Chain A
């Protein structure tokens, strides 16, 4: 639990945006009501149009009149759901804002209580020293007021200890209060999430209640030839909304996919948080993994790919994705693949390959160092540049000791496999499996 800063955050979304969505639904409903009336009467308007296509057209136009009624009902239901959510969002934001204010106030009081405790402890220590000195003086019998001083020091020490106990008690109460506030905020957020899910379900259910609609035709209508070699393409225009929705969904999945890959690599594959390249580039996650291991070998990709075993397979994979451009991992491999031989210049023993001025990564800092023999190792530095941990040569056994068993990584993946695959397409699944294999291979393939 963070006791230094406020962590309660206002929920995502604003009542204004929800209100605008509701108003927009109202305007759309009005438009459908007005146009639907015209459309349903349109079938009787063209007396001069006779024949089979005109009959089909009449049927369609009549069905649109019915659809307009269904649309009205749908929009009424959706608007109701949106308005209920708007009320819930307003209430939750107000409540969470209040909790946030209380949290900040509690943190402020906590800080004061901690200062009081520190002050009381200081006073207690000073009184203790004074008391010790006074006891010594009493023992010598040289000071007439030594006993009085000793009593005074004892009194001060008692008072300081009482203050410290009081401050400690207040700190504990405030911590409990803080925890309670954050629990309340979490509950509010959960309730709001549920309210949003309910609203979304209601909107989806309302949308599912819409009747199936077919586009109108008719030999003499502009859309009659659409989709044939004689007419304009109908689908891109008509299906604009669907296509847009599809694109949004695809983009969302791509974001989730990238986040999932990054998560797996961060949690399972790479024991080092960062690597700094010669040009000062700071790499993270999979990129760092690939570069560190490639540098450790000092091999060209072609040489590596010709080697037997898992390492050769990994290098072959990198060659195979030379043209690939999808995903961060792919990009890293392409960088690895197109650079050919990974440069490992002999440098003076102990010299740091990271150029001066390279931006340090956040948190702990790692540097990759290469000695004259081309042996690489990662060292961990503190904020002053002092080496606080030296991992030694990047050898397979040492790495394996710092990482989970690849089989375990796979099992972790399998755990949420159903959930993952339930919402993802086969392409994503294939990519994920490839990533998993690659992760396992990289772990196994430290030594050619």
Chain B
């Protein structure tokens, strides 16, 4: 691994950050509420929903990487020929 490699603590930190981001998006003030007549509230809520989806995808990638890193640490190497199934 070079200096840019991701290690388990990095992944844990990223997972925590993403959880915090999703918390902010889910119930934080980015959802709007009390900003005015409702138009901006609606737009912010829609933006929050889209960003949440991106965060969820990133969260999934972090979880997958973490899982496989753990598997590697246990000297488990898999040759994976399965079809890509996730979505």
Contacts and interface: CB of A to CB of B under 8 A. Distances in A.
A249 B49 CA distance: 13
Contacts of B21: 27-28, 31-32, 35
Contact of A248 (B35, B45, B68): B45
B29 A20 contact: yes
Given A21-B29, A203-B40, A215-B56, A220 B63 contact: no
B38 to A, nearest CB: 8
Interface residues of B, number: 68
A221 B64 contact: yes
Interface in A207-244: 207, 210, 213-228, 234, 237-242, 244
Contact of A215 (B44, B46, B47, B57): B57
A24 B30 CA distance: 5
Q: Which secondary structure characterizes the binding site on chain B?
A: helix
A25 B69 CA distance: 32
Contacts of A38: 6, 10-11, 13-14, 62
B35 A21 contact: yes
Contacts of A238: 53, 56-57, 60
Contact of B80 (A41, A220, A237, A241): A220
Interface in A389-434: none
A48 B33 contact: no
Interface in B1-49: 1, 4-7, 10-11, 13-14, 17-18, 20-21, 24-26, 28-37, 39-40, 42-49
Contacts of B42: 200, 249
A71 B72 contact: no
B57 to A, nearest CB: 5
Contact of A46 (B18, B65, B87): B65
Contacts of A39: 14, 58, 61-62
A308 interface: no
A217 B50 contact: no
Contacts of A4: none
Interface stretch (A50-58, A152-160, A286-294, A334-342): A50-58
A104 interface: no
Contact of B86 (A217, A242, A244, A248): A217
A225 B67 CA distance: 14
Given A38-B11, A225-B85, A196 B71 contact: no
Nearest to A17: B34
A207 B50 contact: yes
Interface in A4-63: 11-14, 17-18, 20-21, 23-25, 27-28, 31-32, 34-36, 38-39, 41-54, 56-57, 60-61
Interface of A: 11-14, 17-18, 20-21, 23-25, 27-28, 31-32, 34-36, 38-39, 41-54, 56-57, 60-61, 64, 67-68, 71, 74-75, 78, 82, 85, 89, 192-193, 196-197, 199-201, 203-204, 206-207, 210, 213-228, 234, 237-242, 244-245, 248-249
Shortest Cβ-Cβ A-B pairs, 10 listed: A217-B86, A221-B64, A51-B80, A241-B52, A13-B36, A48-B72, A31-B21, A17-B34, A241-B49, A20-B29
